[in-house]
């Protein structure tokens, strides 16, 4: 039992180290976010993004924040695994509050990168 927990903890630290290395070295990513825009349509915020190197993508995490510092997961968008370029979209209703969105890109080899942060409220982009 002790060996099992030792291996489990070692595995967790290994994954954490891989994630931290990928975050510290974004140039090592093979997926490139080539376009990221936010529009408003009938009180809905619409996020559109395009990636190059799509076949290396595992999934996208759409993250949202009210303060621009503390982001939380709002949606998972799985890769189409289409080769080269592909487009993705996410939308949700928006109230009067100001929100910030970003896209977390997780590659198949566990590399992580982030889009820019875009701020929006019901009046438009900020």
Domain of residue 81 covers 2-125
Cα–Cα distances in Å, from 95 out to 22, 36, 43, 126?
35, 22, 7, 14
pLDDT of residue 42: 85
Average pLDDT estimate for 85-107: 92
For the chain, give the percent of residues with pLDDT over 70: 75
pLDDT of residue 83: 86
Cα–Cα distances in Å, from 52 out to 31, 49, 58, 66?
6, 10, 13, 29
Q: Is the pLDDT of residue 95 over 90?
A: no
- The CATH number of residue 83's host domain is 2.60.40.2060
Average pLDDT estimate for 34-52: 91
For the chain, give the percent of residues with pLDDT over 90: 51
Q: How many domains does the chain have?
A: 1
Question: What average pLDDT does the chain have?
Answer: 80
**Whose CA is closest to 125, among 33, 34, 37, 35?**
37
State how far the Cα of 89 lies from the Cα of 21, in Å rounded to an integer: 28
Higher pLDDT, 33 or 81: 33
Q: Highest-confidence range of 15-24, 62-71, 79-88, by mean pLDDT?
A: 62-71
């Amino acid at each position: 039992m002790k060996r099992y927990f030792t291996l489990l903890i070692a595995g967790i630290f290994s994954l954490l180290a891989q994630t931290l290395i990928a975050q510290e070295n974004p140039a090592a990513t093979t997926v490139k976010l080539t376009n990221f825009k936010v529009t408003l349509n009938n009180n809905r915020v619409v996020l559109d993004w395009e990636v190059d190197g799509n076949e290396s993508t595992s999934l996208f995490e759409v993250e949202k924040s009210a303060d621009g510092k503390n982001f939380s997961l709002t949606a998972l968008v799985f890769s189409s695994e289409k080769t080269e370029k592909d487009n993705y979209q996410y939308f949700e209703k928006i109230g009067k509050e100001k929100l910030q969105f970003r896209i977390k890109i997780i590659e198949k080899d566990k590399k992580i990168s982030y889009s820019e942060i875009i701020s929006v409220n019901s009046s438009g982009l900020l």
